[in-house]
Amino acid sequence: MGLIDTYGRRINYLRLSVTDRCNMRCSYCMPEGGVEKLSHCEVLSYEDLLRIAREAVSAGIEKIRVTGGEPLVRKGILTFLEQLAALDGLKELVLTTNGLLLKQMAQGLRDAGVQRLNISLDSLQAETFSKITRGAGLAQVLEGIEEAERVGFPPHKINVVVMRGVNDHEILDFVKLTLTRPYAVRFIEYMPTSGDADWRDLCVPGAEIRERIAAQYQIEDAPSSERSGPSKNFRVAGAAGSLGIITAMTGHFCDGCNRLRVTASGVAQSCLFAGSGVDLRPVLATGDDALLRKELQAIVAAKPGKHQLTEEGAEATPFAMSRVGG
Ligand SMILES: Nc1nc2c(ncn2[C@@H]2O[C@H](COP(=O)(O)OP(=O)(O)OP(=O)(O)O)[C@@H](O)[C@H]2O)c(=O)[nH]1
Ligand SMILES: C[S@@+](CC[C@H](N)C(=O)[O-])C[C@H]1O[C@@H](n2cnc3c(N)ncnc32)[C@H](O)[C@@H]1O
Ligand code: SF4
Ligand code: SF4
């Protein structure tokens, strides 16, 4: 039967955030001083996260993306991933990371059963990278990417949040990277998270990104895989890798939305921009997992049709992407 919402969309993809903590401070994701951290008792135990994942899978979820904050900073993550990978009925276990800890953890992730990695990489220039991430080193991430390839992960998806005047001059450098490497580079429209008044200036519309690429290269459409997210894919003719654009703001991929989110503190959100969600802790405390499954089904049933942010006069409600998990 699966999870079907009131708009007839099949929800088969869970984004599970395991921590709000991070070893970077990306300017587009959190304020310079960081966001107020959840206390240890607010963060769900792995046991509870696993109960949620198990019930979600038995209700119809087929793919779980583990995210954060930075998922690799949480202690015990590899054992947890191994337990997730063993869930009966789960077809895909994938993870989104900033790559800083990949060099030492890639083999462990592969062994735990993670099938694919999405890696955030917003600049190929050390100075710009460090400016965006407020101090993280590009070389360390690049080494991590190499190591993950070496241990046998399929070609990574590379996420680039495009910001006008910050890194948009590198769009063609990322395109060039795909000519010889098999990566799927995805350009993401900047989303307003901090309530910044100038987000419209920073956001480079997906259509413009595509035009800039098409002005230099001959491009052709590329297929999306099953259960994949909102990326619209294409490639430079003859390139080893592919390109994608995630029109998180201007696009209309809400019509095909297939996802549910659960934050590290146990809040289930039916939409990235939902603002608030449903606290699963009371139902977890009952110990009744059938009830937990029913709660997840009810949350899916109440999923909104789309976000309203591009409508005239709409204002973004500030939220920390690192809490929701992207
Ligand atoms: N507006 C919107 N943005 C999303 C949604 N899901 C992911 N994103 C954004 O898409 C970007 C890439 O996210 P990833 O974590 O790599 O996941 P994905 O591209 O959705 O996942 P796959 O297709 O499974 O590879 C991030 O900026 C996310 O915040 C969504 O449902 N709505
Ligand atoms: C919140 S991060 C969590 C996982 C991991 N720390 C990472 O950066 O890959 C998940 C995704 O959200 C994206 N993201 C965060 N803030 C964003 C924003 N304001 N606009 C667009 N994408 C954003 C990041 O680039 C990343 O690809
Ligand atoms: S985008 Fe990822 S790496 Fe950057 S601050 Fe947010 S959670 Fe951390
Ligand atoms: S904005 Fe909400 S409805 Fe639209 S794709 Fe994202 S999660 Fe789905």
**Domain range annotation of the chain:** 13-324
Q: Are 18 and 66 in contact (CB under 8 A)?
A: yes
Q: Is the CB of 251 under 6 A from ligand 3?
A: no
Q: Write out pLDDT tens, residues 100-150.
A: 999 999 999 999 999 999 999 999 999 999 999 999 999 999 999 999 999
Ligand 3 centroid–CA 309 distance in Å is 22
Residue nearest (by alpha carbon) to ligand 2 atom 3: 68
Of the ligands numbered here, which is closest to the C-alpha atom of 119? 2
**Which pLDDT value is given to residue 317?**
67
Question: H/E/C letters for each residue in 58-100?
Answer: HHCCCEEEEECCCHHHCCCHHHHHHHHHCCCCCCEEEEEECCC
**Which pLDDT value is given to residue 50?**
98
pLDDT higher than threshold 60 for residue 312: no
Of the ligands numbered here, which is closest to the C-alpha atom of 270? 4
Cα–Cα distance for residue pair 267/193, rounded to 1 Å = 18
Show the ligand 2 pocket: residues with CB < 6 angstroms. Answer: 22, 28-29, 67-68, 70, 96-98, 120, 159, 161, 188, 190-191, 193, 248, 321-322, 325-326
pLDDT higher than threshold 70 for residue 255: yes
Cα–Cα distance for residue pair 34/18, rounded to 1 Å = 17
Q: Which residues of 142-155 are buried (b: 16+ CB within 10 A; e: fewer)?
A: bbbbebbbeeebeb
pLDDT band for position 266 (50/70/90)?
very high
Place of tokens 């039967």: 1
Q: Examine the predicted complex and report whether its ipTM is higher than 0.95.
A: yes
Q: Mean pLDDT in the chain?
A: 93
Position in ligand 1 atom list of the atom nearest CA 116: 25
Q: Write out pLDDT tens, residues 158-206.
A: 999 999 999 999 999 999 999 999 999 999 999 888 766 778 899 999 9
Q: Evaluate whether the domain defined by 13-324 bears CATH number 3.20.20.70.
A: yes
Radius of gyration of the chain (CA): 19
Q: Write out pLDDT tens, residues 65-94.
A: 999 999 999 999 999 999 999 999 999 999
Please report the DSSP string for 144-196 in residue order. Answer: HHHHHHHTTPPPPEEEEEEBTTTTGGGHHHHHHHHHHS--EEEEEE----S--
